[in-house]
Homo-oligomer: A and B are copies of this chain.
């Protein structure tokens, strides 16, 4: 590996002069500057960022961490982050597991965006600080150095359920996601609140605990099929599970929405071709905004007010006007 030292020797100057050239300081003669630059090119010198980081303690790098590979919209979030980061001359390290911690500490990065549910609140609170702001997606954390960027799940879910009721549906089933997650709680609460406001009864036996994966939706629907009577409408806390449910219904000769309506949440790529009524979340923008707040916080513009992103309902044919009102 050719370093600053080799270049210095080849040029017959000191390492500090080379460093000054590389960092575009003006305290170096034009002739020397050019000569050194040429030598760097000839020798194929490339700066070693580890040495630099160790010395300066700064990195202009942020970390994005996630872990669920089933959700293809994550790529859109990454796209938004990546674009903002590039436009602002930062670098981006994406990590898929707890080895993230390695890059978050050890000033290899100046801040991070956290999406991975496995990353514990406690850990984040420990890591965040004056010189290390964090942006969390899909959870709210009350900490002076952590900004939350969350989707407003409550309003669109309320509106969705009210819309379904207005179309004549009265008997509901619900497939929930991981129970501890904030977004699942919020979606479920909106569902229950609207039912209650409409004096519609909901029994706990019509609740199915899933994990946001397609398979759990499939399973929930299969279980549902064993019960005496099908609800009119199965509300799912996300699209993957809704799609799983639709597949289970179709596999068993149950028509959607003829025999049962189904709703999702996310507007994933499959929602449109499947005709799934769902809630569309602006994912690219979500990533972009998260990156923006993070970098602004890194630059000292402190702002940790939780930010709510709004989402909108997309009606498709998995819910129709109910005949027998």
Chain A contacts to B: CB under 8 angstroms = 1, 44, 46-51, 53-54, 69-72, 74-76, 78-79, 82, 86, 91-97, 99, 101-103, 105-108, 126, 269-270, 273-274
Contact = CB atoms under 8 A, between A and B. Distances in A.
B86 A79 contact: no
11 contacts: A47-B105, A50-B54, A86-B97, A91-B99, A91-B102, A92-B96, A93-B93, A93-B94, A93-B95, A94-B96, A273-B273
Given A54-B51, A96-B94, A105-B46, A79 B69 contact: yes
Contacts of A270: 269-270, 273
A107 B53 contact: no
Contacts of A269: 72, 269-270
Ranked nearest first, the 9 interchain pairs of A and B with the lowest CB-CB distance are A72-B72, A94-B94, A69-B79, A48-B106, A91-B99, A273-B273, A82-B96, A49-B106, A46-B105
A273 B270 CA distance: 8
Contacts of A76: 69
A53 B75 CA distance: 30
Contacts of A103: 49, 93
A14 B138 CA distance: 44
A175 to B, nearest CB: 19
Nearest to A74: B75
Contact of A53 (B50, B86, B93): B50
Contact of A78 (B46, B47, B50, B69): B69
B49 A108 contact: yes
